[in-house]
Structures are given as C-alpha cells and as structure tokens.
Structure 1
Amino acid sequence: MAVHHQASIVPTKAELLAAWVPRQPWAAGADTSSLTKLGSYRFDDPDGEVGMETHVLATADGQVLQVPLTYRGAPRAGAEESLVTTMTHTTLGDRWIYDALHDPVYAAVLASTIATGGHEADLFLSTPDGLVLQPASARVRGSGTAPSAPAAGWSGPRVTVAGTTSRIECDGALLTVLHVLETTTASAAADELVLTGTWLGQDRPVLLAVLR
C-alpha cells in the first residue's frame, strides 16, 4: 500500500511537473504550456523505501501524457542526471524526486506488475485516527499470469528515448513506457505483456507500457 500524508510540500507536484515536463524530448510534440491532472497511480516498493507515482496529465492541446516519478529520502548515488528536483515535505523532510525511468526500483516493480497481472497500490491517507483508504484516481492492470516477477535484474537499466516512448533495457528484458497516450485504442501484439490503465472519464483501457 501507499500512504499519503497531510502535509505541505515545496515545490508542489504541479509546480515541479510544469517546470520539468516541457523540457523532456518525449513531450516535444505537445503544447505543455498548461498541464491538468487527470489521475495518478502508485506502485509499492517491496522494501518500503522508494515512493513511485505516475502522473496522467492533459496538455493544453488535448494530448494525454504519462509521467512516472520516484520519491526518495536521500540522493541516489550516480543518478544526478535523472534528478528532477528536491522537495521539502513537512512530514517526511527533504525528498529527492527522480525520473522513474532511470530508477531500478521502478523498472523492477513495473516489470513485475506487468508479468504477474498486478495492479496499482492502494492509497491511504494518514490521519490522527489512523489510515483511511482513498479512492483511486487511476487504475492499472498487468496482462501477465506469471506466479512471480521475471528473473531479469534491473540494477543498471539502460534508458533511451524513441519519439514519445522510453525504452528501459536490462539483462535481455525490455520495457517500453509510453509517454503520449492513445486514448481510443490499447493495441499491442498478441504475444506482448502490457500494462493498461483507466481514469475518471477514460473507461476504455489505455496502453501504458509493454514488457518483452
């Protein structure tokens, strides 16, 4: 599960996305002068150390973007180039925000979710009376039926951007993450394992990522 705290953060997520997304090559064909949140989904880190949240955003010209980020309580060694910003969180303290595509924890959990037919983490709000389950603003589902995660190690993922997608390669496995989403179809090859998602106003599943 993922836990959301009643806290102030500086910069806000909307502010950091508005500053960072327009500079990304996969967003070059979209009007990112304004970004509107459509939903988001989280994954669980098995070790409980890394927050993983993927934002689904509408652009000024009506395109839909998928933006995965990871949140860490300390800098990740050697990851300076994928650092988005640092954040001050009134409950959790200083946070380091990274482009999730370069984060091995995100790659491993995304691959596992797709391969095993997993889904987004339940989100709870931390209150003085305990944890309160929050409604999901986006839901995702992997298409695989494997009993466990693939054996590939993701400790040194190689990331390349190809148009509006990012490719994460490691140990012979390949993850393709779509950044500009096609909301009318969820097409993929019959032998591909995929992650699809829905959110408020988008009942038809949308293709989000592919595992080969």
Structure 2
Amino acid sequence: MATIYTAETNPTKKEFVTSWLDNQFWGGSGDPELIGTYRFDDTSGEVGFEGFVLKRGDTILHLPVTYRAAPLDGADDYLITKMNHSVLGDRWAYDAMADPVGIHMLNQALAGEIHQAELHFYNEDGQYLGSEDSDISIYIRGELPDSWGTVSVHHVLDHLDLDGGEYRRLVGRWEDASATLFELTPTPETPTDSNPIIAE
C-alpha cells in the first residue's frame, strides 16, 4: 500500500521531472504531458518508488524515481532533486536505477514477490480520503531465467502495444497502449572448455 498525501512539494514533480529529463540524452524536449504513474512498496517502509510515464513531443518516456528521507551515500550524480514536502519535510529524489532499494523492489516485482502498490490518499492532517487505481497497470511477462541476471530500464518506450520479448519483464499498460518498462537480462554463461561462447 502506498500512502500518498495531498500535499505540496517544492519543486513540484513536474518541475523536477522536466529538469532531469532536460539533462538526459534520451529526455527529449518540450513541455511533458503526464500519461500516468505507478508505485511499488518498500517492505521496510523507508523508500518510496514512483514511476512516471509521460509524453514529450512525439516520444513516450519512462522515469522511475525513489524518494528518501535522507541523502543516499555515493549517489550524488543520480540525485534528481532535494525537495520540501509539506507533510514529510525534506525529501531526496533519485534515479531509481541508482538506488539499491529501488533495484531490490524491481527484483521482487520481477520475481512475483510484490505487486504494484495500492494508492491510498490522506490530506495534510492525516485524514483518510480513499483509494484509487493507478493510471499505469503493471504486469509480469516472460519466464524466469535459470540464473537471475540484471534489471534494466526502458526509458524511451518506442515499441508500444508490443508485449513480446524473450526476457522476464514488467509491462506497463495505460488506456489503449502498453510497453515494456523493465526487463531482466540473464547473466551470460561463463565460457568453459566444454561450453565455449564461440564454438570453433
């Protein structure tokens, strides 16, 4: 369950997402239009995970973000912003792919151990307002590999409506479109005399 406050942040999410995208080679240009978001739960309750799917120009982009109550050591280059949350105070937002807790959540999701979080809303005084479904629905596709491997992210979603693929993956669906958001790339086999990578 994701606890979401109807609170103000400074900078706003649109401001810091836009600023981060402006500095990424894949980030496109122009005013971003939010398609939707999804969330995962940290089982320890310490780190928030929110994924943004948005349109910028003619391109659909995907940005996964983690939120922390304190800076993440060694991750200065992946700090998206330090912001003030009107309920939670200072928060540090990071590129989720550089956050070990974010990667752990993705591994759990790919293994089928956790699902996307239910969204439960509260006002700034802590009063419960109700729940809503996410704009983006997350599904698992593909078989688990024999050896686990590495989680990779798709930032540019240029193959909409195609759920195909060889690897285990997390597919996001919204309205009448879908795309692979993350996939698990198996660890390459170590070459041996009996199993060379390139056969002679």
Scaled by the length of structure 2, what TM-score is found? 0.83
Q: Distance in 1 between matches of 2:143 and 2:168?
A: 9
1:99 lines up with 2:95 in the alignment = yes
Contact 1:71 1:95 in 2 (8 A): yes
Contact 1:115 1:143 in 2 (8 A): no
Deviation at 1:18, TM superposition (A): 1.1
Deviation at 1:144, TM superposition (A): 6.3
Q: Distance in 2 between matches of 1:80 and 1:174?
A: 22
Contact 1:70 1:97 in 2 (8 A): yes
Other-structure match for 1:130: 128
Structure that is richer in strand per residue: 1
Contact 2:6 2:121 in 1 (8 A): yes
Secondary structure, aligned partner of 2:111: helix
Secondary structure, aligned partner of 1:106: helix
Identity of aligned residues (%): 35
Q: Which moved more, 1:77-86 or 1:44-53?
A: 77-86
Contact 1:117 1:144 in 2 (8 A): no
Alignment map for 1:150-165 (pairs within 5 Å): none
Q: Which amino acid aligns with 2:168?
A: L
Other-structure match for 2:191: none
Deviation at 1:102, TM superposition (A): 0.2
Other-structure match for 1:161: none
Q: Which amino acid aligns with 2:17?
A: L
Deviation at 1:193, TM superposition (A): 0.8
Say which one has the larger Rg: 2
Scaled by the length of structure 1, what TM-score is found? 0.79
Cα deviations by residue, 1:52-109 (Å, 9 ceiling, x for unpaired): 000001012x210000011101111111111111001110000011111100111111
Contact 2:83 2:90 in 1 (8 A): yes
Q: Which amino acid aligns with 1:185?
A: L
1:205 lines up with 2:181 in the alignment = no
Other-structure match for 2:165: 188
Secondary structure, aligned partner of 2:62: strand
Alignment map for 1:68-147 (pairs within 5 Å): 68-116=64-112, 118-127=114-123, 128-130=126-128, 132-143=130-141
Contact 1:116 1:143 in 2 (8 A): no
Contact 1:117 1:141 in 2 (8 A): no
Deviation at 1:116, TM superposition (A): 1.5
Contact 2:143 2:168 in 1 (8 A): no
> Structure 2 vs 1, CA of residues 133 and 145 (structure 1 numbering), >3 Å: closer, same or farther?
farther
> Structure 2 vs 1, CA of residues 54 and 18 (structure 1 numbering), >3 Å: closer, same or farther?
same
Gaps of at least 5 residues in structure 2 are 187-200
Deviation at 1:39, TM superposition (A): 0.3
> Structure 2 vs 1, CA of residues 144 and 109 (structure 1 numbering), >3 Å: closer, same or farther?
farther
Q: Distance in 1 between matches of 2:129 and 2:49?
A: 19
Gaps of at least 5 residues in structure 1 are 153-171
Q: What is the number of residues matched between the two proteins? A: 181
Q: Distance in 1 between matches of 2:163 and 2:133?
A: 24
Q: Which amino acid aligns with 1:86?
A: K
Other-structure match for 2:155: 179
Q: Distance in 2 between matches of 1:22 and 1:11?
A: 15
Other-structure match for 1:163: none
